[in-house]
């Protein structure tokens, strides 16, 4: 006997409640008082059996098929939710107003509409409304919310006033939008026809017809954040979870406020940039300069013998001035490091900056490497009023999609944006831009920019997170992800798919442990699979494929991904930091750290789910987790793993000190700075290559 008129909803999703097929002019009612019999803690199937039994007992001359069977939603037994859109025309106009006047709402509603509403099972109601059926595993909202979208949470000031003026005459409940969130209670089931029912004084037949017969969509973790925003709901979280989040927040912030650390860091960096001007104004430098100039004057008329003595003085004063500058520079650099590395959040700023700074020293470049598109900064600061929002949003989106942390982006904005920009003049705009960027990081298909190269590069960065690189090579597949990640990051900085840079420099800028020889090997594999083209090889000593001079990336948007990961793999932008060099931590350890940065806390099983592509993944990841626990990178509470809050550089320094102790000082110094050691090795290699060249 079929009581549910669709295959998309199963008997364990709902409790079945009998209602008449013909109401004979009466208003809606149920055939039995179901509330007296439902036990919420029991499975839905058991509750349905109880209801059927009571129905048969109450209507002995009737059969079950003589009734319509509608749904009762029980959030304790099922994650099924119905979104009830009513008064469609007015609701759509209100939503359009919000989308036109709130860019964050606009983007998140677009994702909500395209990724959920348009894909899921839906039913047209007799009034012209729509019931959208979704499954929400988090069960974050467990009570019915009538008029679930509150306009004043998405508009304020003159915009809210304009909204009320526009809709006040056509809707008494102007402050709410007629979209109900129904995780609990009675919902008329799809496929039912209610005959001769009295609705607001009118006798009519009311049919609930299936509109979209697709499978019911489940709310993914990324969509969960969208729903929380749209329905502005945080209730339902346990007190324990709220308490834990507060503890984590306090631990991350440490003794110094993050804003203070960033402000002080920028102040000291400006001092570092103007170090010569600062030194010239010190009494010590003024005195040395005076002595140097006096010697210089004496040199004009000095004898040959006196000149040698005076030049000695001059060199001594010059050396002393250089030492003062060097010592002050070192002092400021150490103060900046100490400031940033005092906090697990701001430490990321130091590690990311250090990677770009040290890479520029390999070939003694005159210009430094940037983590951001320099031309975009110029556009931001040159933008006229009315153009600023879009350009500033583009800058933040670029960094967010590339997985830079919010702390780093805030630091970059405060350091490089002028006072008249919106991000500086309106902190709420910056907060909104970061949230928009976070959404686009997970849904890059909604990037909207006239620059197609910019969009294609950012989308490619998102796509490479989903690729199972074992389809290209069984060996070191994750290293291949690192290689392609750094290639596209460089392309994003220059807004150009052509890469013209030495592989040694590229390896230093990568987000993990990878060397130039591995990059060369992966280039050939990528070329074979048509991900890279137009490789120009350096020709020396008759070796026509020594190292590439330049190559061109192809947008991954046109690539048919042969195999995807179960969950995307986000590579941290500080993944090339010292901690990655501790045995059994490596790139996998940094990716686990990145997961905990994003989620605050996860169980071991939840972490395993992100690494199912790795052979014997549970054993491998278990070993990495144990290493992270041993070095107190993470801690375990109530079967959940979370970051300890200890700065990672401090943990690495402790590891090196314990390994080498007071002996082997030279080895310890080299171990403390893996990137510097890598540069030394590269320079030695270059020296021997040049020697071989000279010999012919």
DSSP secondary structure of 624-676:
HHHHHHHTTSEEEETTEEEE----HHHHHHHHHHHHHTTS-HHHHHHHH-HHH
How many structural domains compose the chain? 5
Read off the pLDDT of residues 201-231 as tens digits, 9 standing for 90 and up: 999 999 999 999 999 999 998 899 899 999 8
- Tell me the whole-structure pTM to 2 decimals: 0.87
Q: Which pLDDT band holds residue 662 (cuts at 50, 70, 90)?
A: confident
- Degrees (nearest 5) of the Cα angle 403, 519, 478? 50
Q: Beta strand 130-135 with 217-218: parallel, antiparallel or unpaired?
A: parallel
Q: Dihedral of CA 303/309/315/318: which sign? A: negative
Asked if residue 248 belongs to a domain, the reply is: no
d(CA 16, CA 461): 47
Regarding whether 514 and 496 lie in a shared domain, the answer is: yes
Tell the residue number behind the tokens 């006229």, with chain if given: 384
Read off the pLDDT of residues 223-256 as tens digits, 9 standing for 90 and up: 998 999 998 764 444 434 443 443 444 444 445 6
185 pairs with which residues across the strands? 73
- Give pLDDT, residue 250: 45
Regarding whether 306 and 425 lie in a shared domain, the answer is: no
Last residue of a domain, one of 515, 547, 564: 564
Residue 348 has pLDDT above 70, yes or no: yes
Contacts 24+ apart (CB under 8 A), 601-607: 601/244, 601/248, 601/637, 601/640, 601/641, 601/642, 602/640, 602/641, 603/639, 603/640, 603/641, 604/639, 604/641, 607/641
Q: Which pLDDT band holds residue 322 (cuts at 50, 70, 90)?
A: confident
Cα 290 to chain centroid distance, Å, stands at 55
- Give pLDDT, residue 449: 76
d(CA 157, CA 45): 50
Asked if residue 649 belongs to a domain, the reply is: no
145 closest CA partner among 103, 181, 94, 189: 181
Asked if residue 673 belongs to a domain, the reply is: yes
Q: Which pLDDT band holds residue 381 (cuts at 50, 70, 90)?
A: very high
d(CA 210, CA 122): 6
To the nearest whole number, what is the mean pLDDT of the chain?
A: 89
Q: What is the average per-residue pLDDT within 75-82?
A: 96
d(CA 583, CA 631): 11
Dihedral-angle region of residue 600 (phi above 0 means left; psi in -120 to 50 means alpha; beta otherwise):
left
Whether 647 and 653 have beta carbons less than 8 Å apart is answered as no
Q: What is the CA radius of gyration of the chain?
A: 32
- Give pLDDT, residue 135: 97
Cβ burial of 239 (10 Å; 0-12, 13-18, 19+) is exposed
- Burial of 126-147, coded b for 16+ CB within 10 Å and e otherwise, reads beebbbbbbbbeeebbeebbee
- Give pLDDT, residue 473: 83
- Give pLDDT, residue 101: 93
CA–CA distance from 35 to each of 10, 131, 585 (Å)? 21, 23, 55
**CATH classification at residue 232:** 3.30.2250
Q: What is the average per-residue pLDDT within 118-133?
A: 96
684 backbone dihedrals φ, ψ, rounded to 5°: -65, -40
Regarding whether 129 and 213 lie in a shared domain, the answer is: yes
Q: At what angle do helices 88-101 and 157-167 cross, to 10 degrees?
A: 160
Q: Which pLDDT band holds residue 541 (cuts at 50, 70, 90)?
A: low
Dihedral-angle region of residue 680 (phi above 0 means left; psi in -120 to 50 means alpha; beta otherwise):
alpha
Q: What is the average per-residue pLDDT within 369-394?
A: 88
Residue 540 has pLDDT above 60, yes or no: no
What range defines the domain where residue 528 resides? Answer: 443-564
Q: What percent of the chain has pLDDT over 70?
A: 94
Residue 65 has pLDDT above 80, yes or no: yes
Regarding whether 358 and 265 lie in a shared domain, the answer is: no
Q: Tokens for 447?
A: 């990037």
Q: Which pLDDT band holds residue 544 (cuts at 50, 70, 90)?
A: low
Lowest mean pLDDT among 171-175, 325-329, 587-591: 171-175
Query: How crowded is residue 78: how many other Cβ atoms within 10 Å of its Cβ?
Result: 19
Residue 573 has pLDDT above 50, yes or no: yes
Q: What is the average per-residue pLDDT within 491-509?
A: 93
Regarding whether 188 and 43 lie in a shared domain, the answer is: yes
Regarding whether 434 and 288 lie in a shared domain, the answer is: no
- Give pLDDT, residue 172: 67
Q: What is the average per-residue pLDDT within 272-287?
A: 82
Asked if residue 430 belongs to a domain, the reply is: yes
d(CA 568, CA 485): 13
Top pLDDT among 684 and 403 is at 403
- Give pLDDT, residue 386: 80
- Give pLDDT, residue 170: 63
Top pLDDT among 321 and 55 is at 55
Through-space distance between the first and last CA atoms of the chain, rounded to whole angstroms: 89
- Give pLDDT, residue 664: 77
Regarding whether 382 and 503 lie in a shared domain, the answer is: no
Read off the pLDDT of residues 181-193 as tens digits, 9 standing for 90 and up: 999 999 999 999 9
Last residue of a domain, one of 317, 342, 367: 342
Read off the pLDDT of residues 665-688 as tens digits, 9 standing for 90 and up: 878 888 889 998 998 888 888 777
Q: What is the average per-residue pLDDT within 365-388?
A: 84
Regarding whether 374 and 337 lie in a shared domain, the answer is: no
Regarding whether 81 and 187 lie in a shared domain, the answer is: yes
Asked if residue 172 belongs to a domain, the reply is: no
Regarding whether 219 and 82 lie in a shared domain, the answer is: yes
- Give pLDDT, residue 693: 66
Name residues whose C-beta falls within 8 Å of residue 599's C-beta, 6 or more positions apart in sequence.
606
d(CA 409, CA 414): 9
Q: Which pLDDT band holds residue 197 (cuts at 50, 70, 90)?
A: very high
Asked if residue 632 belongs to a domain, the reply is: no
Lowest mean pLDDT among 169-173, 231-235, 539-543: 539-543
Q: What is the average per-residue pLDDT within 613-634?
A: 95
d(CA 348, CA 593): 12
Residue 200 has pLDDT above 90, yes or no: no
Whether 130 and 211 have beta carbons less than 8 Å apart is answered as yes
- Give pLDDT, residue 393: 93
Q: What percent of the chain has pLDDT over 90?
A: 64
Regarding whether 363 and 313 lie in a shared domain, the answer is: no
203 backbone dihedrals φ, ψ, rounded to 5°: -90, 125
d(CA 678, CA 518): 14
Regarding whether 372 and 324 lie in a shared domain, the answer is: no
Asked if residue 62 belongs to a domain, the reply is: yes
Lowest mean pLDDT among 100-109, 355-364, 407-416: 355-364
Asked if residue 593 belongs to a domain, the reply is: no
Whether 219 and 181 have beta carbons less than 8 Å apart is answered as no
Last residue of a domain, one of 308, 342, 376: 342
């Amino acid at each position: 006997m079929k009581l549910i008129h669709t295959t998309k909803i199963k008997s364990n999703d709902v409790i079945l409640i009998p209602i008449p097929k013909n109401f004979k002019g009466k208003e809606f009612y149920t055939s039995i008082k179901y509330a007296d019999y439902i036990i919420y803690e029991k499975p839905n199937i058991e509750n349905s059996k109880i209801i059927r039994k009571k129905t048969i007992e109450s209507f002995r001359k009737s059969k079950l098929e003589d009734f319509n069977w509608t749904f009762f939603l029980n959030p304790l037994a099922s994650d099924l939710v119905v979104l009830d859109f009513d008064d469609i025309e007015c609701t759509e106009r209100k939503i359009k107003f919000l989308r036109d006047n709130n860019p964050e709402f606009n983007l998140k509603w677009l994702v909500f509409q395209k990724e959920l509403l348009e894909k899921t099972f839906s039913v047209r109601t007799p009034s012209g409304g729509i019931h959208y059926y979704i499954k929400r595993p988090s069960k974050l909202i467990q009570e019915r919310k009538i008029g679930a979208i509150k306009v004043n949470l998405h508009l304020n000031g003159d915009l809210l006033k304009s909204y009320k003026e526009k809709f006040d005459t056509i809707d008494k409940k102007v402050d709410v939008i007629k979209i109900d969130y129904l995780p609990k209670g009675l919902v008329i089931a799809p496929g039912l026809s209610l005959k001769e029912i009295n609705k607001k004084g009118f006798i009519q037949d009311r049919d609930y017809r299936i509109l979209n017969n697709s499978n019911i969509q489940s709310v993914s973790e990324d969509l969960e954040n969208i729903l929380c925003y749209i329905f502005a709901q945080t209730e339902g979280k346990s007190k324990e979870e709220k308490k834990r989040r507060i503890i984590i927040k306090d631990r991350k912030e440490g003794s110094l406020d993050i804003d203070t650390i960033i402000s002080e860091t920028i102040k000291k960096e400006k001092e570092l940039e103007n170090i010569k001007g600062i030194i010239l104004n010190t009494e010590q430098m003024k005195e040395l300069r005076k002595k140097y100039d006096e010697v210089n004057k004496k040199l004009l008329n000095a004898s040959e013998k006196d000149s040698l003595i005076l030049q000695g003085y001059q060199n001594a004063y010059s050396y002393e001035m250089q030492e003062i500058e060097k010592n002050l520079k070192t002092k400021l650099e150490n103060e900046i490091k100490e400031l940033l590395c005092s906090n697990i959040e701001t430490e990321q700023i130091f590690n990311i900056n250090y990677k770009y700074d040290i890479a520029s020293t390999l070939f003694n470049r005159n210009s430094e490497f940037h983590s951001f598109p320099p031309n975009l900064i110029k556009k931001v600061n040159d933008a006229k009023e009315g153009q600023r929002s879009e350009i500033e949003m583009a800058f933040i989106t670029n960094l967010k999609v590339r997985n830079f942390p919010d702390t780093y982006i805030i630091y970059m904005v405060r350091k490089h944006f002028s006072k008249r920009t919106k991000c500086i003049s309106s902190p709420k705009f910056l907060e909104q831009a970061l949230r928009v960027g976070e959404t686009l990081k997970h849904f890059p298909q909604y990037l909207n920019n006239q620059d197609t190269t910019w969009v294609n590069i950012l989308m490619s960065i998102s796509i490479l997170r989903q690729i199972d690189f074992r389809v290209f090579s069984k060996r070191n597949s994750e290293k291949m992800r690192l290689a392609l990640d750094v290639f596209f990051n460089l392309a994003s900085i220059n807004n150009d798919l052509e890469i013209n840079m030495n592989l040694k420099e590229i390896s230093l800028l990568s987000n993990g442990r990878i060397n130039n020889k591995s990059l060369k090997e992966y280039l050939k594999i990528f070329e074979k699979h048509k991900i890279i083209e137009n490789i120009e090889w350096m020709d020396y000593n008759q070796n026509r494929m020594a190292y590439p001079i330049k190559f061109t990336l192809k947008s991954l948007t046109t690539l048919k991904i042969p195999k995807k990961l179960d969950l995307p793999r986000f590579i941290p932008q500080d993944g090339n930091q010292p901690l990655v060099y501790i045995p059994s931590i490596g790139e996998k350890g940094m990716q686990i750290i990145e997961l905990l940065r994003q989620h605050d806390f996860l169980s071991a099983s939840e972490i395993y789910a992100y690494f199912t592509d790795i052979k014997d993944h549970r054993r491998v990841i278990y070993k990495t987790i144990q290493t992270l626990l041993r070095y107190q990178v993470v801690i375990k509470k109530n079967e959940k793993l979370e970051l300890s809050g200890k700065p990672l550089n401090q943990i690495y320094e402790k590891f090196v000190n314990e390994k080498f102790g007071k002996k082997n000082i030279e080895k310890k110094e080299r171990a403390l700075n893996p990137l510097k050691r890598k540069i030394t090795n590269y320079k030695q290699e270059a020296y021997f290559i040049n020697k071989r060249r000279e010999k012919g």
